[in-house]
Amino acid sequence: MALITPMHQDGSVNYDKLEEIIEDQIAGGTDSIIICGTTGEAATLTHEEHLDVIRACVKFVRGRIPVIAGTGSNCTETAIYLSKEAEAAGADGLLVVNPYYNKGTQKGLIAHYKAIASAVSLPIILYNVPSRTGCNILPATVAALWKDVDNIVGIKEASGNISQIADLMALTKGKIDLYSGNDDQIVPIMSLGGKGVISVLSNVAPAQTHAIAAACLAGDYKKGAALQLAALELCHALFCEVNPIPVKAAMNLQGWEVGPLRAPLTEMEPENQERLKKAMAAYGVL
């Protein structure tokens, strides 16, 4: 799951709350935690905060489940620095997003990821989210990296393009570790050979999200589909404004007191918060 970063009202990181949330996630059956990803507001953490949050997560988890650290950047050298520091902190793997804003070519993406992978020994999950980065890593590029670089082992696919994902699985003979990056596409992606989901929904419904993936892993796609469809309205509500605005609002509605967002993100619009409340109530998490 993709964990939020709780804040105090002054905007500083709330480490006590972070530990509480991690304990709840583990109790809810979450199999792994992504720390300092998009949902964790990594883009507005300083490098020092970013690494401190990773270190804290490793400490709080105490080896019970894997900790995957988000260490991507639009600067290759920065991504290498964060990745090396995350490895030193005890992370079990890395999630590395496509370099945003620069919009590297496919050749540039290969060079970027190879440079990061050569600097660390941890397994790396690529993260493709073109809607946020302006950059789409193509199936042939992913397949080439997966074949050529031992510690590039998987991809979080949040392109929303099922045809592209099918092409990727065909090119890798279904062997790359594929994770859904969209909560409304868990079952379709797992039906193509996906291993699970790196989930925003899990922040507010860890056991329910785990159940969707578990059903698919057990081969019961009919059950998985029913669970997926039951969660659909809440999935949509959690993305009716840019992530992680709605999920932090949802956790605050649940009483978690995870605090505010960092600028330029702002609090959820009232009409969208009402939509979120209704969806949470209907799903039984409020």
Tell me which residues are annotated as active site.
127, 156
Transcribe 18-37 into DSSP letters. HHHHHHHHHHTT---EEESS
227: tokens are 């669970």
Cα 162-31-90 angle, rounded to 5 deg: 110
Instruction: Quote the radius of gyration of the chain (alpha carbons, Å).
Output: 18
d(CA 216, CA 44): 35
Cα dist. 232→94, 122, 236, 255 in Å?
A: 29, 34, 6, 23
**Of 79, 285, 88, nearest in space to 201 by CA:** 285
Locate the DSSP E strands across the chain. 33-35, 67-70, 93-97, 124-128, 152-157, 177-180, 196-197
From CA 44, how far away is CA 46, in angstroms rounded?
Answer: 6
State phi, psi for 231 to the nearest 5 degrees.
Answer: -90, -5
Contact 254, 281 (CB under 8 A): no
